[in-house]
A and B are shown apart, each in its own frame.
Chain A
Amino acid sequence: GAVVSQHPSWVICKSGTSVKIECRSLDFQATTMFWYRQFPKQSLMLMATSNEGSKATYEQGVEKDKFLINHASLTLSTLTVTSAHPEDSSFYICSARVANEQFFGPGTRLTVL
């Protein structure tokens, strides 16, 4: 299957700082990438759909000014958590779409102190 990477795999930051997470499709081009958030023992919650070269589409209740998404190329999408707070601590996972299948990255664990 297609390979999706994320960087960093984990990050710890102070409250008020911004954190950028990168999502790359390694062996294919992805016109559409997705960003999810997952709390412990819960399922994935879709945050936004990212299309290359256009603005991301955010799900209801997700603050677009807080979670900035940029999909600058066919192999890279970034999620920036701005002015992070402890309640933003979570597991963030990206995925990339290939035809009608979706492949996930390994996730990034964010801890905000």
Chain B
Amino acid sequence: QKEVEQDPGPLSVPEGAIVSLNCTYSNSAFQYFMWYRQYSRKGPELLMYTYSSGNKEDGRFTAQVDKSSKYISLFIRDSQPSDSATYLCAMSAVGFQKLVFGTGTRLLVSP
């Protein structure tokens, strides 16, 4: 079993839809949770960073962490074609040294 599981998609939605992206993990030591967006042939861009459990909102993006269920989510409201990309979840333990990534979910938002 992988430490971090993420559905690779692709996930296709119409413009304006609410998108839900999710990851599950097995290591209870993870405390730091991130979501990255990666466009084709580009480096990942940090979207959201959350420490421990709870919600965090930034514009159209909301990140949720449920440590009891070992489950994290990223919600995108009013999705736009420009949101079409691969979304990677990543996490690390306290005493941060390296990130463990999910496989990434490819999102396609059609006009």
Interface set of A (CB-CB < 8 Å, partner B):
1, 4, 6, 32, 34, 42-44, 46, 49, 91, 93, 95, 97, 100-107, 109
* Given A104-B36, A107-B42, A43-B98 contact (CB < 8 Å): no
**A-B CB contact pairs (8 Å), 30 listed:** A6-B43, A32-B97, A34-B98, A34-B99, A42-B103, A43-B88, A43-B102, A43-B103, A43-B104, A44-B88, A46-B98, A49-B97, A49-B98, A91-B41, A93-B44, A100-B49, A100-B92, A100-B96, A101-B46, A101-B49, A102-B99, A104-B43, A104-B44, A104-B45, A105-B43, A106-B43, A107-B41, A107-B42, A107-B43, A109-B41
B binding-site residues for A, Cβ under 8 Å: 32, 34, 36, 41-46, 49, 51, 88, 90, 92, 96-99, 101-104
With a CB–CB cut-off of 8 A, which chain A residues contact B97?
32, 49
Inter-chain residue pair count (beta carbon < 8 A): 49
Residues of B within 8 A of A34 (CB): 98-99
Bound together, the chains give a CA A32 to CA B96 distance in angstroms of 11
A105 to B42: give the CA distance in the assembly, Å: 8
Q: Whole-angstrom distance from the CB of B5 to the nearest CB of chain A?
A: 12
For B94, give the chain A residue with the smallest CB separation. Answer: A100
Give the distance to chain A from B106, nearest Cβ to Cβ, in Å: 8
Decide if B34 touches A101 in the complex (CB within 8 Å).
Answer: yes
Verify A43–B34 contact, CB threshold 8 A.
Answer: no
B46/A102 in contact, CB under 8 A:
yes
Contacting residues, chain A, for B99 (C-beta < 8 A): 34, 46, 102
CA distance A104 to B99 in the complex (A): 12
